[in-house]
């Protein structure tokens, strides 16, 4: 299990370097609070909204409320050809 502080540090470095910060929770959860600069695409809509993430060369940091949806979204992104996908897991890990 990776050190939570290291996961946070890696995610922050990637976002600072230009990675897309992708929140895959519901729009209602997103409106109730999200990480600054995050883009909201619910995991169940991700496959059909991949163009909103950016080119497949775009680094992406994914998060949700508890980690399960982020893991599923990372799989969708990887299967779709995104090469640099990082799973932050839960938003609280930031």
Retrieve residue 70's tokens: 């982020």
64 is catalytic: yes
Alpha helices, H only, 1-94: 4-16, 27-32, 68-79
Q: Which of the following is catalytic: 22, 24, 64, 76?
A: 64
Place of tokens 């409320």: 65
Please, what sign has the CA dihedral across residues 29, 50, 86, 58? negative
| Residues labelled catalytic | 64
């Amino acid at each position: 299990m990776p050190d939570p502080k290291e996961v946070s540090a890696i995610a922050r470095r990637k976002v600072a370097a230009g990675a897309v910060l992708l929140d895959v929770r519901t729009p209602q959860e997103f409106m109730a609070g999200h990480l600054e600069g995050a883009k909201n695409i619910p995991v169940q809509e991700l496959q059909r909204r991949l163009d909103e993430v950016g080119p497949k060369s775009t680094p992406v940091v994914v998060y949700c409320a508890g980690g399960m949806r982020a893991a599923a979204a990372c799989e969708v992104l990887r299967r779709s050809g995104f090469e640099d996908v990082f799973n932050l897991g839960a938003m609280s890990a930031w």
